[in-house]
Amino acid sequence: MHPYTRLPGTPVPMHHWTVDVGLQLAGDSWGDPHGPLVLLLHGVGQTRHAWRATGRILGAAGYHAVAFDARGHGDSDWAADGDYSRDAMIRDLERLIAKLEKRPALVGASMGGATSLIGVGEGHIDASALILVDIAPRTEPSGVAKVKSFMRDTTNGFRTLEEAADAIHAYRPRAQQSRMPNGIAKNLRMGADGRYHWHWDPQLMARGRESDERRVEAARRLTLPTLLVRGGQSDVVSEEGARDFLGLCPKAEFVNIAGAGHMVSGDRNDVFGRAALGFLRRAVPAVREALRQE
């Protein structure tokens, strides 16, 4: 549970799954439940809502797309013991897959991508395919620090939705202003102090970060179809970091999306959606095309 109050009118999760004692994950799904399962894992500080457009694209193409809030994010429970380690995230993923009872393709952005990479590379997760979205074994310290700085600098919340929208725009100038500030309301909660707060547990900032070497070793062991998607203007994954990953996993495919930063699917969702769908159709083809969802 968490101490903030949901804002009126914000989307209610379609699903809840208990993955640990006293801890539930919340999620949404699109498409044919009998189609190939595609699990969508968001980045740190994000929610399942980051994948809504991608989920609809995949669902319309015959896949069963499921996006969920990681522990400590969105409508999922906060960890009572404050455990937001990579291993805890991997355990949650294992247990969620067991409940869904299908071998998944994994699409992970940033934090979710690292969880997927290590989970698969270390043998905890049996996946059919892997898409890493702007995450690689070696990342740029300055870009990672920028993400952490934004999260730390906004922990006191905001007086208004407009103030929160301004903070997002300063951090992500490419974000679509036309959908703000009302578009970000689903990612905010009201605190007892009367201020708007992001949907994540502040204890996330205390979590440790695994060494690059752990991700390097996981990448070396990948044998499943893999796609690395990099934002062309990313400050987290450099071109050198992408080349390094392709050296570790030479059979992997690579797409560089021009005009996108670290939040690739949000910055250029149309291009990202086509790239992800094209790869999945080759790696894990859906039996049939579903009717496009609205």
pLDDT digits (tens, 9 = 90+) for 206-256: 877 778 899 999 999 999 999 999 988 888 999 999 999 999 999 999 999
Between 206 and 289, the higher pLDDT residue:
206
Confidence band of 293 (pLDDT split at 50, 70, 90) = very low
pLDDT digits (tens, 9 = 90+) for 115-156: 999 999 999 999 999 999 999 999 989 888 888 888 888 888
CA 111, 112, 117, 119 dihedral sign is positive
Across 85-99, average pLDDT: 97
What is the separation, in whole angstroms, between the first and last Cα of the chain?
A: 32
Q: Report whether 241 contacts 234 (CB < 8 A).
A: no
Class of the 5-142+209-283 domain? alpha beta
pLDDT digits (tens, 9 = 90+) for 21-51: 889 999 999 999 999 999 999 999 999 999 9
Name the nearest CA neighbour of 276 among 19, 40, 76. Answer: 40
Q: Report whether 167 contacts 178 (CB < 8 A).
A: no
